[in-house]
């Protein structure tokens, strides 16, 4: 927790209703922030602020997008996600539940969060063994990932691999690769259980080209 106090869960839940279709809510938080906070608050995974001590070696990178589906009345929907890397890292720093190692925005700016020596809370079941990278993107499969953002991601992953040689290109994964859970009926309704909660970074991410660049970039010799 930093000096900026995280909004209480009840406040977030109330604000989120107002913020679902507008980026600024009357509660003073951006809709994206609220969406993220509520999403995280509903994971049921409590974590220390800033992550947990590492208990095992890092052998994976998990690539996320900040945007991802919510589901209401049986229909998934996405919000617009904007803001730069610094804004989003500041947001992560205020959230009590989740943490992340890096955020890369659409211009390619990289903000570092918790150190790699700490296990951030970003991907259920993979936190201890992975480095988490969030990309500023709607995650809806349509919002394009600009080249400077991809360039920065390639460079960052190559740099991370130098420090963690067990991360092969095949161990650079999408969040959607490691979490195939669907929306819970109790919170979202029975119809939403047909839809996956984690699709990020989504179909607009140039996965094949990214993997090819990873294989050709500097890193551990695998
Ligand atoms: Zn994710």
User: DSSP letters along 93-148, please?
Assistant: HH-SS---SEEE-TT--EEE-S-TTEE-SSSTTTTTTEEEEEE-S--SS-S---HH
Record the tokens describing residue 8, joined without a space. Answer: 């209480």
> Who contacts 85 (Cβ-Cβ below 8 Å, separation ≥6)?
103, 104, 105, 109, 110, 111, 136
Q: What pLDDT sits at residue 5?
A: 36
CA of 200 to the centre of ligand 1 (A): 5
- Helix (H) / strand (E) element for 177: namely helix 175-178
Q: What pLDDT sits at residue 219?
A: 54
**pLDDT per position as a tens digit, 75-124:** 999 999 999 999 999 999 988 888 999 999 999 999 999 999 999 999 99
Architecture of domain 47-216: 3-Layer(aba) Sandwich (3.40)
Query: What is the C-alpha to C-alpha distance for residues 140 and 164, in angstroms, rounded to an integer?
Result: 31
Angle CA(26)–CA(29)–CA(34) in degrees, nearest 5?
A: 110
CA of 175 to the centre of ligand 1 (A): 5
- Report the candidate in 73, 65, 63 with the shortest Cα–Cα distance to residue 20: 73
Kindly list the domain boundaries of the chain, sorted by start residue.
7-42, 47-216
Query: What is the C-alpha to C-alpha distance for residues 81 and 76, in angstroms, rounded to an integer?
Result: 16
Q: Is the peptide bond before 84 cis (omega within 30 degrees of 0)?
A: no
Percent of the chain surpassing pLDDT 70 = 76
Q: What pLDDT sits at residue 49?
A: 61
Global confidence as pTM: 0.78
**pLDDT per position as a tens digit, 173-214:** 999 999 999 999 999 999 999 999 999 999 999 999 999 999
CA of 65 to the centre of ligand 1 (A): 6
Q: What pLDDT sits at residue 74?
A: 95
CA of 166 to the centre of ligand 1 (A): 22
Range with the poorest average pLDDT among 16-20, 25-29, 70-74: 16-20
Mean pLDDT for 66-75 is 96
Answer whether 102's CB lies under 8 Å from 112's CB.
yes
pLDDT greater than 60 at residue 42: no
**pLDDT per position as a tens digit, 135-177:** 999 999 999 999 999 999 999 999 999 999 999 999 999 999 9
């Amino acid at each position: 927790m930093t000096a900026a106090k995280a909004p209480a869960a009840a406040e977030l839940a109330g604000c989120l209703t107002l913020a679902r279709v507008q980026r600024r809510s009357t509660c003073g938080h951006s809709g994206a922030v609220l969406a993220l906070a509520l999403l995280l608050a509903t994971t049921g995974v409590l974590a220390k602020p800033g992550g947990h001590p590492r208990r095992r070696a890092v052998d994976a990178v998990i690539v996320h997008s900040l945007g991802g589906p919510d589901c209401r009345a049986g229909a998934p929907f996405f919000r617009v996600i904007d803001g730069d890397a610094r804004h989003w890292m500041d947001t992560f720093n205020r959230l009590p539940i989740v943490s992340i190692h890096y955020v890369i925005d659409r211009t390619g700016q990289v903000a570092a969060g918790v150190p790699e020596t700490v296990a951030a809370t970003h991907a259920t079941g993979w936190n201890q063994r992975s480095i988490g990278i969030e990309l500023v993107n709607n995650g809806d499969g349509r919002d394009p990932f600009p080249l400077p953002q991809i360039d920065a991601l390639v460079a960052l992953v190559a740099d991370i691999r130098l420090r963690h040689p067990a991360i092969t290109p095949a161990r650079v994964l999408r969040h959607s690769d490691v979490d195939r859970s669907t929306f819970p009926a109790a919170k979202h309704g029975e119809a939403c259980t047909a839809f996956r909660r984690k699709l990020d970074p989504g179909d607009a991410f140039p996965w094949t080209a990214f993997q090819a660049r990873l294989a050709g970039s500097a890193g551990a010799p695998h």
